[in-house]
Amino acid sequence: MSIWAESYGGHYGPTFAYFFLKKNDQIDAGIISAPAVKLNLESLGLMNACIDMVTEMPFFPEFAFNNTYGIQAMNETVYKFSKSNLPKCQNMTATCRALGDKLDPNGTGANAQVNKACNEAYLFCFSNVHDAYWLSGVCVLCRAVFSCPLSLPG
């Protein structure tokens, strides 16, 4: 079996792969018994994947403002707004991760405090850093989302 994921699937693909492998280990150890069936995961493929918000978030405004395609998807005012929100985004993400490590070390998603902190970080970062280009009034809808230089028909 292979798992392929794109974009935000950079989070889901590895998570599913890890889950399947852990369940296979539990089957081997006799923790999970019949009728459980091991899944033979041979590969995980990621295409244009969003993998790590801490690493990638600082580059969304950079790419939107200054890229090799000569397409400015946000003006300088929006660029500065986006960049000014980056420290808060990074702090909120660090809080999310620290709480997750402490209160939900297995990543089950069952801790309300962790879920709240992580949801707030996600919403803030995407609204104020990643998606800030929507504020500039530039026709970002005239471009294909995953292929910036490609103009959409119509």
One domain for residues 13 and 74: no
User: What residues pair up with 6 in beta bridges, in sequence order?
Assistant: 47
Q: Do 43 and 57 share a domain, yes or no? A: no
Same domain? For 84 and 61 the reply is yes
Q: Are residues 85 and 144 in the same domain?
A: yes
Strands 147-151 and 143-144: antiparallel
Judgement on whether residues 82 and 123 belong to the same structural domain of the protein = yes
Helix axis angle for 86-103 and 112-125, nearest 10°, is 160
Let me know whether 98 and 72 are in one domain.
yes
DSSP letter for each residue of 105-132: TT--S--HHHHHHHHHHHHHHIIIIIGG
Distance CA 96, CA 93 (A): 5
Question: What is the extent of the structural domain holding 94?
Answer: 53-151
Residue 124 and residue 109 in one domain:
yes
For residue 71, what pLDDT is reported? 79
Q: Using CB atoms within 10 A of its CB, is residue 63 exposed (0-12), middle (13-18) or buried (19+)?
A: middle
What type of residue sits at position 79? Y
Same domain flag for 60 and 43: no
Residues 38 and 80 in one domain: no
pLDDT at 151: 61
Same domain flag for 13 and 57: no
Total domain count, the chain = 2
Ranges assigned E (strand) in 17-146: 43-47, 143-144
Block means of pLDDT (10 residues each) for the chain, 154 residues, are 90 92 94 91 91 88 85 87 96 97 91 97 92 67 55 59
Whether 72 and 136 map to the same domain: the answer is: yes
Give me the amino acid identity at 147: S
pLDDT value, residue 33 = 85
pLDDT at residue 104, rounded to an integer: 95
The verdict on 129 and 92 lying in the same domain is yes
